[in-house]
């Protein structure tokens, strides 16, 4: 997979020597990573290893202390989340970025509401209709696209967050523990949605605590430990034991 992708051209995303400190604390240290279209790279590591921080750097929430980010070979300075989204980068955050008291369809278009001419007023009907179609396509099983998000289950909410990323992503989808709060059946469904993203030729970075899931979904695995990059392995050429010892630093 990786070799084919490499032959196919340049990486969608290239991180070079990314460094991030919070005050005195080094959260991410000298990380380099290339992501190609149509592949899933898993980012693993213990709690506090810097996974979420790295993801927030790519999505423009945090500025790296130093290092460079290239998108399609062009260096980008991500000032904020809005700029990252304009570049086709979508994120499903660990702490869900949904507005709880708003209906599902408004969350789907949060910050990017559809307007109707000539007055530029909100086109609620169209947003609702598009959301309905997407919800059907991804088989999300929510009571209504007009339900408030706070009235939905964890799995349904996660489904909405991923559906939103699917709707908007053009290049890159970042997922931070997308199934952490879900039951077995819901996890299965979310995993199949993630696989379908791959078929859309998006590059996907997946943070997960479940090594089973990582081995089911990913093409490559990148291991972080206390902010430092321990190594990258092809999923087919490694096993759980190796990854576990890379994560813990033991063995």
Quick one: what does residue 100 bind among other proteins, Mg ion, ligand ADP, none, with the CB cut-off 5 to 8 Å set by partner type?
other proteins
52 is a contact residue toward Mg ion (CB under 5 A)? yes
82 is a contact residue toward other proteins (CB under 8 A)? yes
CA–CA distance, 38 with 200 (Å, rounded to integer): 7
> Which stretch in 47-55, 107-115, 116-124, 150-158 sits in contact with ligand ADP by CB under 6 A?
47-55
64 is a contact residue toward ligand ADP (CB under 6 A)? no
CB of 229 to ligand ADP, least distance (A): 12
12 is a contact residue toward other proteins (CB under 8 A)? no
60 is a contact residue toward ligand ADP (CB under 6 A)? no
Instruction: Render the burial of 168-194: b for 16+ CB within 10 Å, e for the rest.
Output: bbebbbbbbbbbeebeeebbebbbebb
Show contacts with Mg ion in window 68-107 (CB under 5 A): none
Residue 140: strand, helix, or coil: coil
CB of 81 to Mg ion, least distance (A): 17
CA–CA distance, 47 with 23 (Å, rounded to integer): 19
110 is a contact residue toward other proteins (CB under 8 A)? yes
208 is a contact residue toward Mg ion (CB under 5 A)? no
Cα separations in angstroms, 157 against 16, 125, 211, 227: 34, 21, 23, 30
59 is a contact residue toward Mg ion (CB under 5 A)? no
**Long-range pairs of 72-79 with CB within 8 A, sequence gap ≥ 24:** 72/10, 72/12, 72/171, 73/10, 73/14
5 is a contact residue toward other proteins (CB under 8 A)? no
81 is a contact residue toward other proteins (CB under 8 A)? yes
50 is a contact residue toward ligand ADP (CB under 6 A)? yes
Q: Residue 7 contacts by C-beta under 8 Å, 6 or more apart in sequence?
A: none
Comparing CB distances to ligand ADP, the nearer of 47 and 241 is 47
> Which stretch in 31-39, 49-57, 124-132, 140-148 sits in contact with ligand ADP by CB under 6 A?
49-57
Residues 80 and 60: beta-carbon distance below 8 Å: yes
How many residues sit in the footprint of other proteins (CB under 8 A)?
26
Q: Is 244 exposed, middle or buried (0-12, 13-18, 19+ CB in 10 A)?
A: middle
Comparing CB distances to ligand ADP, the nearer of 57 and 165 is 57
The first and second tokens of residue 118, run together, are 């000539």
101 is a contact residue toward other proteins (CB under 8 A)? yes
Cα-Cα-Cα-Cα torsion 213, 215, 217, 219, nearest 10 degrees, comes to 150
Binding-site ranges for ligand ADP (CB under 6 A): 22, 25, 27, 45, 47-53
Binding-site ranges for other proteins (CB under 8 A): 59, 61, 80-82, 85, 91, 93, 95-102, 106, 110-113, 115, 120-122, 150
């Amino acid at each position: 997979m990786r070799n084919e992708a490499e032959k196919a051209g340049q990486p969608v995303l290239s991180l070079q020597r990314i460094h991030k400190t919070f005050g005195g604390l080094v959260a991410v240290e000298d990380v380099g990573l290339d992501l190609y279209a149509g592949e899933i790279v898993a980012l693993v590591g213990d709690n506090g290893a810097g996974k979420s921080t790295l993801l927030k750097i790519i999505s423009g929430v945090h500025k790296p202390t130093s290092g460079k980010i290239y998108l399609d070979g062009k260096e980008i300075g991500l000032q904020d989340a809005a700029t990252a989204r304009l570049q086709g980068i979508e994120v499903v955050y660990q702490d869900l970025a949904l507005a709880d008291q708003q209906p599902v369809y408004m969350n789907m278009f949060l910050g990017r509401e559809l307007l109707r001419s000539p007055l530029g007023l909100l086109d609620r009907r169209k947003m609702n209709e598009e959301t309905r179609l997407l919800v059907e396509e991804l088989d999300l099983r929510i009571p209504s696209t007009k339900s408030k998000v706070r009235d939905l289950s964890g799995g349904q909410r996660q489904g909405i967050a991923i559906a939103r990323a699917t709707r908007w992503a053009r290049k890159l989808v970042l997922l931070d523990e997308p199934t952490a709060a879900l039951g077995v059946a819901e996890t299965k469904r979310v995993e199949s949605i993630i696989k379908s993203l791959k078929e859309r030729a998006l590059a996907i970075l997946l943070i997960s605590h479940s090594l089973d899931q990582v081995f089911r979904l990913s093409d490559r695995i990148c291991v972080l430990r206390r902010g430092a990059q321990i190594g990258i392995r092809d999923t087919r050429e490694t096993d759980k034991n190796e990854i576990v010892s890379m994560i813990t630093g033991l063995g």
